[in-house]
């Protein structure tokens, strides 16, 4: 599955250039490909023609689609330079307003809750949904565009060709998906580093051979880590060389020619570098069991996936999403002391009313009296807000929202209203609706990502995660990190909290007395639980975990705070599982305020590694001619190889999971 991703590997491009690329006016789409598999309504495609792409969209998505087209051209300039390749004709990009609409596409047979985008081989069509976050959109576009480049190289620029080449080369998942992940993210982002630390500690860091042949090994994170090792040690320009050589001579020969190493030798160097980099960090951090109680684990509750926890107000029960050793992710109720599963509340895919429970991007919420539970549910081409009996799972009310989608509802303290993130035309905003389904009201109306709202105990304020801030500029399409902000209901004023400039900051949860907010941040390159104190205006770090407090993606909900019991639950990644831990009186974990300083630079796996010289290249006459990319863009070119200072022998260089 291609899970939804977020990108902080952003390149700049001149605004004049972007404007020129979109000079052609949109026109109605001539073809009706990509209609929903079941025709819930009639779609009328429009097309934006840019220099390299035909961008298909629905009229309601026009604003977001124009920005997506600019992002696509900017991404093309960067990737064509790194990979030393240019398209000979325009490629299709098909945009859907929400994940629900995307999952109904018939452009490709692929689609599901865990799929963030698809690029099909025969027509090189990129298909993806808007997710309400421009940073996420840019990452997915760059990821899928890397696949377009790969397919274009294998087909020698002939759309529909190259089938025999692809079958002969048979590139493994770590090659294809790992390269796409590396070229769309930071070299080693906090999520990938989390996978690496866990694999190094638990002894399941795979070899390249295992990544190639074992379908149980997730190719995205480990493949990204391997390509990051290659890019950092030999320079990004070698990636395009390997890709083009692979089309002619296969994977093994391409790596040996470019790096002078066999895949086995490369595998050994990479694994040594990962272990040397991350194992010493265990002494600097700790596992969750040191400061919290295991609550939902494979031993206690079955399954390896326990996400989107929601504690009851009295802290006695917990509702969460899990596969529980089955194929589908369902909604379960468990004892919040023992983790013993009481019952399954909702079974997804049992009927068309519960096609998906949004287990990656959303979490449910208890009503203040603990009797009801609200969740977002995919139903046909939209999402419904469903309210169920919190003990029995019986549906009490289904509210159909006139939007493309919704996630993460939160009750008002008096139980009369709910706030949620709504998706309209590819853009996310905050909405409020009465608990009986009347009086839908939009709170925000802009391009910013407005995610994971949480209603304050006094009912006056809504905390949420957003990319608002000085680093976000939609004119330049420069998107900053997510921060925690407050929406003050009395005047509609939005306040971005201070000390939020470093790292990703998400999933705010109010303390029972409303005097502080817990949230998750990766400002130290590891996702941990933090506390913002309204009394002194400072941020405090509550956990210092070795792997991280993180869900399936970097934007997945992680936290729940039971107001009556003062108990905090959080998702913790360990031994290739997502478990839930809990801690009582979490504010007792406060120590000294966290200094307000920039996030550390991305980690490197090459500290102290001797740089291996590249093998001599064959004479130019024996090499296939290569087209040169003429695109020039400040800050968008390949990363040069890192020169490493000498350090103790035995250290090598890897790249993350």
501 inside domain:
yes
Tell me how far apart the alpha carbons of residues 249 and 67 are, in angstroms, rounded to a whole number: 39
Q: Name the residue range of residue 130's domain.
A: 15-281+603-616
d(CA 570, CA 584): 12
Would the pLDDT of 604 be above 80?
Answer: no
**Domain assignment present for 160:** yes
Helix (H, G, I), strand (E, B) or coil at 502: coil
Question: Over 70: is that where the pLDDT of 503 sits?
Answer: yes
At 652 the pLDDT is: 31
Other CB atoms within 10 A of residue 31 CB: 10
Are 350 and 224 part of one and the same domain?
A: no
Has residue 628 been placed in a domain?
no
pTM: 0.87
Q: How far apart are CA 36 and CA 65, in angstroms?
A: 19
Centre a 10 Å sphere on the Cβ of residue 260 and count the other Cβ atoms it contains.
Answer: 15
Is there a single domain that holds both residue 218 and residue 365?
no
Same domain assignment for residues 362 and 240: no
Any idea what the CATH number is for the domain that residue 531 is in?
2.120.10.30
Residue 447 tokens read as 């391009």
Largest CA-CA distance found in the chain, in angstroms, rounded:
77
User: In this structure, is the dihedral angle defined by the CA atoms of residues 327, 328, 333 and 337, taken in order, positive or negative?
Assistant: positive
Residues 45 and 164 both lie in one domain: yes
Residue 321 sits in the same domain as residue 251: no
Residue 510 lies in a domain: yes
Query: 323 and 238, same structural domain?
Result: no
pLDDT at residue 161, as a whole number = 84
- The partner residues of 330 in beta bridges, in order of sequence, read 322
Q: Which pLDDT does position 620 carry in this prediction?
A: 39
Residue 610 has pLDDT above 60, yes or no: no
Answer yes or no: is pLDDT of 11 > 90.
Answer: no
- Residue 6 in this model has a pLDDT that exceeds 70: no
User: From CA 310, how far away is CA 480, in angstroms rounded?
Assistant: 29
| Rounded Cα distance, 451 and 508, in Å | 10
Q: What's the CA gap between 322 and 317, in Å, rounded?
A: 15
Domain check: are 276 and 411 in the same one? Answer: no
- In the chain, the number of structural domains is 2
Helix (H) or strand (E) holding 430: strand 427-434
Look at residues 329, 325, 374, 366 and name the one whose alpha carbon lies nearest to residue 347.
329
Give pLDDT, residue 99.
86
- Does residue 443 sit within a domain? yes
CATH of the domain at 106: 1.10.390.10
Cα 392 → chain centroid: 33
pLDDT recorded at residue 642: 40
The answer as to whether 597 is a domain residue is no
Q: Tell me, what DSSP letter sits at residue 152?
A: H
Q: What angle do CA 61, 64, 67 make, to 5 degrees?
A: 140
In this prediction, residue 608 carries a pLDDT of: 43
In this prediction, residue 158 has a pLDDT band, given cuts at 50, 70 and 90, of: confident
**Structure confidence at residue 649 as a pLDDT band (50, 70, 90):** very low
Tokens of residue 14, six digits: 């001149």
Cα–Cα distance between 459 and 491 in angstroms, integer? 13
pLDDT at 109: 65
Please enumerate in sequence order all residues whose Cβ is within 8 A of that of 473, keeping only pairs 6 or more positions apart, or say none: none
Question: What CA–CA distance (Å, rounded) separates 487 from 494?
Answer: 5
346 and 275 assigned to the same domain: no
| Residue 58 DSSP one-character state | -
Report CA 590 to chain centroid distance, whole Å: 29
Model confidence at 35, in pLDDT bands (50, 70, 90)? very low
Alpha carbons within 13 angstroms on the beta-carbon side of residue 646 total 1
Highest mean pLDDT among 10-14, 442-446, 615-619: 442-446
pLDDT over 90 percentage in the chain? 74
Residue 5 pLDDT > 80, yes or no? no
Q: 317 - beta bridge partners?
A: 335
pLDDT at 43: 63
Q: Is residue 8 part of a domain?
A: no
Region 251-271 average pLDDT:
97
* CA-to-CA dists, residue 541 to 75, 227, 517, 576, angstroms: 36, 32, 12, 25
- Average pLDDT estimate for 61-90: 96
Is the Cβ–Cβ distance between 465 and 500 less than 8 Å?
A: no
- Token pair, residue 171, equals 């590139």
Residues 342 and 264 in one domain: no
The b-or-e profile of 419-444 (16+ CB within 10 A means b, else e) is: bbbbbbbbbbbbbbbebeeeeeeebb
For the record, the structure tokens of 394 come out as 């019986």
CA quadruple 428, 2, 167, 127: dihedral, nearest 10: -10
Shared domain for 34 and 130, answered yes or no, is yes
Do 199 and 339 lie in one domain? The reply is no
DSSP state of 347: -
Q: What is the pLDDT of residues 140-157, one digit of tens each?
A: 999 999 999 999 999 998
Task: Note the pLDDT tens digit of each residue in 543-597.
Answer: 999 999 999 999 999 999 999 999 999 999 999 999 999 999 999 999 999 988 7
pLDDT over threshold 90, residue 380: no
Round to whole Å and give the CA distance between 83 and 142: 13
| Length reported for the chain | 657
Asked whether residue 118 falls in the same domain as residue 224, the answer is yes
d(CA 182, CA 196): 14
- Asked if residue 583 is part of any domain, the answer here is yes
Percent of the chain with pLDDT over 70: 84
């Amino acid at each position: 599955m291609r899970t939804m991703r977020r990108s902080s590997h952003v390149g700049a491009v001149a605004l004049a250039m972007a404007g020129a690329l979109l000079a052609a006016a949109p026109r109605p789409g001539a073809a009706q490909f990509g209609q929903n598999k079941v025709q819930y309504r009639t779609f009328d495609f429009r097309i934006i023609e840019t220099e390299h792409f035909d961008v298909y969209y629905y009229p309601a998505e026009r604003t977001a689609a124009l920005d997506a087209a600019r992002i696509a051209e900017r991404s093309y300039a960067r990737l064509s330079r790194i990979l030393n390749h240019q398209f000979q004709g325009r490629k299709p990009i098909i945009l859907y307003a929400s994940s629900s609409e995307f999952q109904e596409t018939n452009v490709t047979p692929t689609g599901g809750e865990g799929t963030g985008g698809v690029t099909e081989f025969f027509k090189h069509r990129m298909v993806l949904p808007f997710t309400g976050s421009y940073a996420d959109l840019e990452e997915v576009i760059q990821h899928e565009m890397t696949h377009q480049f790969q397919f274009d190289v294998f087909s020698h620029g002939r759309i529909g060709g190259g089938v025999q080449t692809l079958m002969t080369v048979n590139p493994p998942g770590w090659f294809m998906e790992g390269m796409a992940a590396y070229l769309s993210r930071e070299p080693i982002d906090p999520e990938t580093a989390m996978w690496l630390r866990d694999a190094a500690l638990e002894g399941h860091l795979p070899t390249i051979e295992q990544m190639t042949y074992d379908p149980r090994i997730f190719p995205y994170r480990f493949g990204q880590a391997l390509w990051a090792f290659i890019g950092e040690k030999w320079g990004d320009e070698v990636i395009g060389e390997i890709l083009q050589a692979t089309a002619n001579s296969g994977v093994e020969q391409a790596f040996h020619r470019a790096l002078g190493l066999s895949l086995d030798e490369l595998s050994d160097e990479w694994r040594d570098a990962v272990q040397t980099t991350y194992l010493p960090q265990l002494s600097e951090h700790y596992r969750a069991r040191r400061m919290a109680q295991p609550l939902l684990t494979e031993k206690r509750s079955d399954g390896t996936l326990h996400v989107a926890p929601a504690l009851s107000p009295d802290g006695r029960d917990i509702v969460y999403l899990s596969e529980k050793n089955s194929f589908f992710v369902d909604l379960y109720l468990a004892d919040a002391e023992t983790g013993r599963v009481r019952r399954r509340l909702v079974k997804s895919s049992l009927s068309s009313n519960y096609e998906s429970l949004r287990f990656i991007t959303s979490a449910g919420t208890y009503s203040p009296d603990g009797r009801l539970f609200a969740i977002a549910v995919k139903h046909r081409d939209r999402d419904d807000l469903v309210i169920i009996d919190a003990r029995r799972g019986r549906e009490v009310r289904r509210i159909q929202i006139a939007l493309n989608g919704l996630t993460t509802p939160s009750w008002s303290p008096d139980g009369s209203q709910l706030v949620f993130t709504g998706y309209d035309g590819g853009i996310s905003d905050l909405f409020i609706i009465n608990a009986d389904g009347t009086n839908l009201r939009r709170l925000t109306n802009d391009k910013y990502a407005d995610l994971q709202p949480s209603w304050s105990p006094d009912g006056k304020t809504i905390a949420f995660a957003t990319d608002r801030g000085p680093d976000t500029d939609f004119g330049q399409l420069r998107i900053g990190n997510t921060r925690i902000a407050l929406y003050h209901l009395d005047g509609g004023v939005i306040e971005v909290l201070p000390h939020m400039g470093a790292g990703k900051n998400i999933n705010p949860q109010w303390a029972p007395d409303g005097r502080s907010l817990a949230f998750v941040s990766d400002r130290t390159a590891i996702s941990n639980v933090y506390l913002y104190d309204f009394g002194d205006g400072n941020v405090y770090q509550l956990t210092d975990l070795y792997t991280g407090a993180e869900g399936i993606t970097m934007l997945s909900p992680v936290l729940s705070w039971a107001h009556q019991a003062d108990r905090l639950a959080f998702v913790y990644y360990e031994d290739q599982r997502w478990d839930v831990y809990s801690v009582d009186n979490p504010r007792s974990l406060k120590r000294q305020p966290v200094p307000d300083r920039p996030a550390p630079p991305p980690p490197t796996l090459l500290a102290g590694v001797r740089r291996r010289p590249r093998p001599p290249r064959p004479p130019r006459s024996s090499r296939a001619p290569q087209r040169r990319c003429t695109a020039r863009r400040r800050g968008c070119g390949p990363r040069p190889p890192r020169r490493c200072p000498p350090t103790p022998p035995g250290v090598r260089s890897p790249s993350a999971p």
